[in-house]
Amino acid sequence: MAGGLVKYRKLGRTSSHRKALLRNLVTSLIEHESIQTTWHKAKEAQRMADKVITLGKKNTEASKRSAMSKLFRPHDILPRLFGPLAARYADRPGGYTRVLRIEPIKEDQAPSAILELVDGPKDMRFAMTARTIAKTRTNEQELNDMTRANIAKVTRYRKDADGELEEMVQRFERLEEESDEGVEEVKKKRVYPKLERSR
Amino acid sequence: MAACHIAPSQSFLAAFLPVARAALLPQLPRSTSRSHVASRIASLWQSRSSLLPAALIPIPGILEGLWEGILRAVPKKKTSHMKKRHRFMAGKGLKDVTALNKCSACGKLKRAHVLCPYCVQSIRKWFGNGFKTEAEVKAQKDTQWDEMNERLQKAGRKPLLKEDVEDLAKT
């Protein structure tokens, strides 16, 4: 059909390869709470991850079987999915994952993204908001509208949100005191072989 | 250079320039049974005892259509500097990135709608090592080295020096 939208991305792979890729991405996400990949893969994996977490929240025998068919290493991953993650997202109506754009991680400059579980221990937006608050406090400035909106977002469904945010802000303030800037140079991962030059 | 307007001989035209031949000698009847190229190739093949080197005579029957294509599609003139530059400069150059703003967490310049790479890498590092400063991490590593060397000395073996292992890691 000319000019119609696709229902899902093909990602340049055959059906079986694509299925395996998405399963691997979602399994890694549940295991590590935050993964870095290309933006397009992250958007596709986000759909599957949200659906798998919905199965975890349902917590029936049928949903367990369904989740087992959609993930790899079920013995390691299913306890996490039906335990801590189901409890974490009990009150949240959908939107359990977040895709944040980042600079390309590899030297092929592919548009990259972080796919993360919201309200988790590796929540990047939570950490960035905390670091922003720490910086505004050290500079004795007022909080921005955008920062206020971000604070509302990250504290909405999180348990003990204010306490955790304050704790993280203090961690960043301590790092700032020790004048620890973090990384000075951002290196991209190698993709192409390093060739000898004749000159 | 003054062009000498002597029409080329019929045999030359028959061999190489069927279009020019038709233009200069329009009254000649065309052979309907065989195409231009086929008859030309046949005449070339027959005249191979003449001055033409063997490489220029195509083998009949193989290259008919191809020969016509090769003969026709050729640049007439070297593209001028102006045309060449028009082709290169027709909006195909790299565009400047203007969608930039300041990172709210570290103050550095970053692309709009994209997380600051320095912040992301630092935060991921701190997620990994529990928000330790570099001094703390170094101190922890030093104590680990000392403990390991103590264990080695107690076992009666030579202590490892950090410099030796670092050199190995670099090569």
Query: What value does the mean pLDDT take over residues B4-31?
Result: 63
Q: Please indicate, yes or no, if residue B13 is contained in any of the structural domains.
A: no
A140 touches B at CB < 8 Å: no
Query: What value does the mean pLDDT take over residues B135-162?
Result: 89
Q: What are phi and psi of B78, to 5 degrees?
A: -65, 130
Query: What value does the mean pLDDT take over residues B85-94?
Result: 94
- Containing structural domain, residue B130: 102-170
Q: Is the pLDDT at B50 greater than 60, yes or no?
A: no
Predicted model pTM: 0.76
Confidence of residue B46 (pLDDT cuts 50, 70, 90): low
Q: Is the pLDDT at B109 greater than 70, yes or no?
A: yes
Query: What value does the mean pLDDT take over residues B42-62?
Result: 61
Q: Please indicate, yes or no, if residue B7 is contained in any of the structural domains.
A: no
Domain count within chain B:
1
Q: Please indicate, yes or no, if residue B52 is contained in any of the structural domains.
A: no
Cα-to-chain-centroid distance, residue B26: 48
Where in chain A are the domains? 15-117, 124-178
Would you state the pLDDT for residue B88?
94
From B2-6, B79-83, B117-121, the region with the lowest mean pLDDT: B2-6
The percentage of chain A sitting over the pLDDT mark of 90, rounded to a whole number, equals 87
Q: Is the pLDDT at A136 greater than 80, yes or no?
A: yes
**Min CA distance, B127 vs chain A (Å)?**
7
Q: Please indicate, yes or no, if residue B113 is contained in any of the structural domains.
A: yes
Query: What value does the mean pLDDT take over residues B43-48?
Result: 62
From A90-94, A97-101, B54-58, B119-123, the region with the lowest mean pLDDT: B54-58
Which residues of chain B make contact with A132, given a CB cutoff of 8 A? 104-105
**Both ends of chain A: CA-CA distance in Å?**
53
Q: What are phi and psi of A117, to 5 degrees?
A: -85, 125
Residue-wise pLDDT for A175-198, tens only, equals 999 877 777 888 899 999 988 888
Confidence of residue A171 (pLDDT cuts 50, 70, 90): very high
Q: Is the pLDDT at B119 greater than 60, yes or no?
A: yes
Sequential DSSP letters for A109-157: ---EEEEEETTSTT-HHHHHHHHHHHHHHHTT-PPPHHHHHHHHHHHSS
Q: Is the pLDDT at B1 greater than 50, yes or no?
A: no
Residues 86-105 on A with a CB inside 8 Å of B are 100-103
Segments in A59-119 forming alpha helices (H): 61-70, 74-80, 86-88
Q: Is the pLDDT at B60 greater than 60, yes or no?
A: yes
Q: Please indicate, yes or no, if residue B151 is contained in any of the structural domains.
A: yes
Between chains, do B122 and A181 touch, taking CB under 8 Å as contact?
yes
ipTM of the shown complex? 0.93
CATH for A15-117, options being 3.10.450.50, 1.10.30.50, 3.90.1030.10, 3.40.50.1820: 3.90.1030.10
Quickly count: other Cβ atoms within 10 Å of residue A187's Cβ.
10
Residue of B nearest to A144 (CA): B104
Q: Is the pLDDT at B29 greater than 90, yes or no?
A: no
Residue-wise pLDDT for A35-46, tens only, equals 999 999 999 999
B99 touches A at CB < 8 Å: no
Q: Please indicate, yes or no, if residue B138 is contained in any of the structural domains.
A: yes
Geometric angle at alpha carbon B123, from B120 and B128, rounded to 5° = 125
Q: Please indicate, yes or no, if residue B162 is contained in any of the structural domains.
A: yes
DSSP code at position A35: E
Between chains, do B118 and A146 touch, taking CB under 8 Å as contact?
no
